[in-house]
Amino acid sequence: MTLNYLIPLSADEQLAHGLDRPCPLAVADRVRFSELDMLRHVNNKAYLGWFETTRVTYFQTYCLSHFAGMPEPRTVMRNANVHYVKEMIEDESYITTARVLSFRRTSYVMEQQIWSGDLRARLEAVMVLRTPDGGAGYPIPATLAAQFRDLDGAEDLSGG
């Protein structure tokens, strides 16, 4: 199966390219020369950029519409843990994924992975929604909470 770059991949495409399970968002690309370090494998910073691009795309695609008619929240990464599993090299194709694992009243935990035949890197990040001025937490709308549960299979830890 041909790998389509820079467009969301279907569940079948994800599974056909080695992912262990489909995610709500998975996007393929290829390693560029500019992303290599002096040892000619992908620099750790490049992985963070790939994760960020997919995380922002996830928010714009699946979350932003739930704030229609309301002020748009600030989305802040509170903390993240990255596990580099296996190196990657120039011209290697990869798939970056994003899904929500759990959520609370004003935050959610996002898991992201990078696959190239097998798992290459994993990131788990706590994302916090803040009011536009950044002064307070911004509650996750009920429709978005339902989507996290239904689309991602996320666990509701909000206590509500």
Q: What's the whole-model pTM score? A: 0.94
Residue found under tokens 């820079």: 6
Q: Report whether 117 contacts 18 (CB < 8 A).
A: yes
Cβ-count burial of 48 within 10 angstroms (0-12 exposed, 13-18 middle, 19+ buried)?
middle
Query: How many C-beta neighbours within 10 Å does residue 43 have?
Result: 15
Taking only the tens place, the pLDDT of each residue in 6-26 is 999 999 999 999 999 999 999
Q: Which tokens in the block code for residue 63?
A: 């979350």
Burial class from Cβ neighbours inside 10 Å (0-12, 13-18, 19+) for residue 149 reads middle
CA distances 20 to 10, 42, 116, Å, are 14, 23, 12
Sorted by where each starts, the structural domains of the chain and their CATH numbers stand as 11-156 (3.10.129.10)
Residue 66 gets which letter from DSSP?
Answer: G
At residue 1 the predicted structure's pLDDT band, cuts being 50, 70 and 90, is: low
Summarised one tens digit per residue, pLDDT across range 118-148 is: 999 999 999 999 999 999 999 999 999 999 9
What are 107-117's pLDDT values in tens digits?
999 999 999 99
Q: What are phi and psi of 85, to 5 degrees?
A: -95, -50
